[in-house]
Amino acid sequence: MNVIGNAIAFQVVWMSSVGGAARGWWWAGPLALLAFMLWQLPRSDCRRADMRLMAVAAVVGFLVDSLWVQAQWLQFTAPTPSVHMAPIWIVTMWMGFALTLNHSLRLFKQRLLWSAAFGLVGGPLAYWIAANAWSAVSLPAEHALALVSIGIAWALLTPALLSLSNRWAPDATRAHG
């Protein structure tokens, strides 16, 4: 049940982050992440690894999304703290994603090629939905290049984060409640 709860909790973080940003509520995602952490971490057999992965994902996510902003491939709604860098709410989503790696996404830990395919499709799809269904992100007129670049980045970063997860919490590949 914890695996299902983990997946649902991440979706709540995602929707709170994107939906909040669309309304100018940059704080909605971080608040949802805090609730997710308070629920997940006490239940985790790999708490330390989860926290380390969230820290790495926060830094990587901030750098990658800031790069896309600088390249003018993305423009974020609710751009707190600055329009020139990744906003807090998108970094929150990266951290929430990291909190799934040892739990609802743990099956990908032994299937890194599948995780790359998941990132290749899921990464740009998430940004496209955030742009087109929620208006939390704006894509440039020639958004195909941006989405392909996002897909390539997520195809590399998803297995990289899962590899860290494997190193820091190898036992999390086994089923756990």
pLDDT tens by residue, 46-69: 999 999 999 999 999 999 999 999
Which residue's entry shows tokens 């990291």? 98
Return the closest-CA partner of residue 172 out of 64, 96, 81, 99.
99
Say if residue 39 is exposed, middle or buried (CB neighbours under 10 Å; 0-12, 13-18, 19+).
middle
- Beta-bridged to residue 138, according to DSSP, are 75
Domain extent, residue 15, equals 2-173
CB atoms within 10 A of CB 147: 17
Of 1-10, 50-59, 114-123, 139-148, minimum mean pLDDT range: 139-148
Considering the chain, what is the average pLDDT of its residues? 94
- In the chain, pLDDT over 70 holds for what percent of residues? 97
Domain count for the chain, please give it: 1
Residue 177 is predicted with a pLDDT of 43
**Whether the Cβ atoms of residue 158 and residue 118 lie closer than 8 Å to each other:** yes
Residues 6+ apart with CB under 8 A from 153: 64, 123
| pTM score above 0.85 | yes
Give the model confidence (pLDDT) of 92-129 as tens digits. 999 999 999 999 999 999 999 999 999 999 999 999 99
Cis omega before residue 81 (within 30°)?
Answer: yes
- CA triplet 157, 61, 86: central angle to 5 degrees? 145
d(CA 56, CA 75): 23
